[in-house]
Chain A
C-alpha cells in the first residue's frame, strides 16, 4: 500500500521585502524597478512512500526539504500538483512552538495536544504518561515561561510521542534534550517503526538518516537528484558537497609557507575491490618543504559525514616530532586493519611544527570505505569467539 504520494508537486514563493504589497493595485511601481522575485522551492517533485517504509530526505539548506514537510503537514499548499496522504499524519516539527508562555505545563499539554488533533478525553487519559515521559515532574503546574529550554522541548516531544500516527514526519527533532532524553526519543521512534508505521525523516545528520531509514531522497534546488538506498544517496550527496574542494586551496601563498601537503592517496594492498572495512589501508601523504622544519608532525584527519572527527593518522609521538629536511617527500601510513564502517569520509591534512599549524588543508579529499568484514555501529571491533562452559539441559 502507498501511504504518501507526491505527483508533480511544485511550490513557488514570491520573495518580497515586506510581504505582499498592495502596489499592484495602483500600478507597477516606479519604472526600472525590479519585479518581485520568484523562487521555486519545489519543481515537479514526484515520489511515493510505501506503508511501513522510512524515507530520509537529505539536501543542502534551501533544497526544499522543509517545504515538503510544510506541504505534508498542511501548513502551506502546493502551487501545482497533487499529494495523497493515507492515514493520520503527525509532524514533529519544532515540537513546542504551540506553547503559550503564561499557561502551566498541564494547560499547555491540553492546548498543544488539541493543536495536534488530539481529543480532550484522549489527552486526559494519557496525561500521566506524558508528564512522566517529559521528566518535568512537579514543575508541570508552573507556567512554562519559567521552564528551562530543555524542559520546554522535552514536554513538547512528550506530547508528540503520545500521538498515534500512521505517518510520522520528523525534522531534526532528535537534536533536542540531553543524551538520556535523546535515547528515549530514539527508542520511541524505533518502537513506532517496529509497529510498521510509515516515517519521513528530514535531517542534516547523515548518520541518523543512514541508521533510521530504508530509503533516501537527495534534493537539490527543488528537484530530486537521486532516490535509492540511504548509503548510495548519502554518498552522492557528499560527493556533491565535496566536489568543489580540492588540493589547490593554498597554492598561491606558496612562498610564505615553509612546508605544505601536496597530495594524499589511499590504497588497499591485496584488495582489488578497493578500501574495505577490516582490511589493510595505506595512506600516502606527499609534502614539500622549502626549508628545514624542526619538530614536525603530520596529521591525516578522517571525519564522519556529520562533521565529527572519526579518527586520525598521525606521526605525533610522546618523544617529539620529526626533523624534516628541505625538499619533497612522502609519508606513508600503514594500517593493518581499517576499523571504520563503510561510508564516505571527509579528509583534512595538516603539518605542524613545534605545536603550531603551518599548513592545513580542509576537506581536501575523501575516503570511500566499501563493505568488508561485517560491522555494525560505528567501528569494527576485532575479536575472536568461541562457546565455553556449556552445560547439559537440567533434569526436571
Chain B
C-alpha cells in the first residue's frame, strides 16, 4: 500500500513546480525595501486599478449631479477668483483673459491638493482593512491619487472649452504638459505617501492638512503669475516643485510657450529624490501600521 504522505507530496509538486518562498524579517528602514515593495505592488496592480475605479464610482454614488462635480469645483473657484482679481484688484496675466488664466492653474493645483487631502486620511479611514487583511498599503493613498487624476482629466475638457470660447490659440508646446503632469504626479505621490504614513502615528497631520494646503495654494502661482513675484525671491520660490510645475503648465497650455527648462529640471530632480525616500519611509512604517492605527 502506498504511503499517503508520499502521494500527497507528489501531487503537490506536480501542481506548482516552483513555489515562491517568502521570508519575513523584523522591519528596518532601507532603500532595499523599495525593490521588494515595487515587485509586490506590481503583483497587486489589479487591486490598484479596481480600487481606483470603485473610488470614483463610490464618490459619485447617491449624488444627483454625479460626475459633474469633477468640473463644478474648479469652475466655482474660477468664478470667485475672477470676481476678486478683476473687479476688486488686478493681477498681470500676460494678456490672457483671467478666467482661463486662473483655471489653467487651478487644474493641476486641485489635482495636487485633493490627492494630498484625501490620501492623508485614506489609511486611517480603513482601520478594518489594515488590521484584517494584507495588501501593499500604498495602494490606498495611490488609489486616491488615481481618482484625482481622473477628475483632472474631466476638468481638462472644460479648460479646452474655455480656451475655444476665449479664443486662446493652441500650439505644439501643449505637449510639454505631459512631462509636467508626470512630474507633478510623482511629487504628489511622494507627499501623499509620506504624510499618510505619518498620519497613522500622529493624527495631527490630518488636522493640519486643510490649513497647510490653503497656505500652500497662495505660495504657488495659481491666482497670480510668476511675473508678480519679485525677481530676487524667485529662485527660492521655485524650490517648491509645485510652483514651478504649475507655472510651467500654464505657460505651455495657454501662453503657447516652452517651459523654463531650468525650473523643470529642478522640479524633476526634487521629485526623483523625494519619491524613493518617501516610498522607503512608507514601506518601513507599513509593517507596524496595523499595530498603531
> Measuring CB to CB, which residues of chain A are less than 8 angstroms from any residue of chain B?
1, 13-14, 19-20, 22, 51-52, 70-71, 73-89, 91, 93-94, 97-98, 100, 102-103, 107, 110-111, 114-120, 166, 195-197
Contacts and interface: CB of A to CB of B under 8 A. Distances in A.
Contacts of A71: 24
Given A102-B61, A166-B19, A19 B11 contact: no
B19 A86 contact: yes
A189 B275 CA distance: 44
Given A97-B133, A111-B51, A117-B135, A78 B9 contact: no
B166 interface: no
A102 B24 contact: no
A87 B130 CA distance: 23
A-B pairs, top 6 by smallest CB distance, nearest first, are: A196-B8, A74-B134, A114-B47, A77-B287, A97-B132, A87-B19
B50 A111 contact: yes
10 contacts: A13-B291, A22-B204, A73-B134, A82-B23, A86-B19, A88-B16, A98-B129, A111-B50, A114-B51, A119-B46
B21 A78 contact: no
Contacts of A1: 9, 12
Interface residues of B, number: 46
Nearest to A107: B54
Contact of B9 (A87, A119, A196): A196
Contacts of A79: 26
Contact of B44 (A77, A117, A197): A117
Contacts of A85: 21-24
B44 A76 contact: no
A117 B135 CA distance: 8
A87 to B, nearest CB: 4
A71 B290 CA distance: 11
B58 interface: yes
A103 B132 contact: no
Given A14-B291, A111-B54, 15 more contacts: A13-B291, A75-B130, A75-B131, A75-B134, A77-B26, A77-B287, A82-B24, A84-B23, A88-B16, A88-B20, A110-B50, A114-B50, A114-B51, A119-B46, A166-B12
A390 to B, nearest CB: 27
B147 to A, nearest CB: 14
Contacts of B21: 84-86
Contacts of B61: 102
Contacts of B129: 97-98, 115
Given A82-B23, A115-B47, A52 B5 contact: yes
B292 interface: yes
Contact of A103 (B9, B19, B58, B133): B58
Contacts of B290: 70, 75-76
Given A51-B9, A114-B46, A87 B24 contact: no
B132 A93 contact: yes
Contacts of A114: 44, 46-47, 49-51, 135
A120 B24 contact: no
A22 B51 CA distance: 33
B29 interface: no
B128 interface: yes
B8 A76 contact: no
A344 B198 CA distance: 51
A86 B129 CA distance: 25
Contacts of A76: 287-288, 290-291
Contact of A20 (B16, B57, B132, B292): B292
A93 B128 CA distance: 12
Given A82-B23, A84-B23, A94 B132 contact: yes
Nearest to B59: A102
A86 B202 CA distance: 36
A307 B260 CA distance: 76
A38 to B, nearest CB: 12
Interface string B274-293: 00000000000001101111
A103 to B, nearest CB: 6
Contacts of B133: 73, 75, 91, 93, 97-98, 115-116
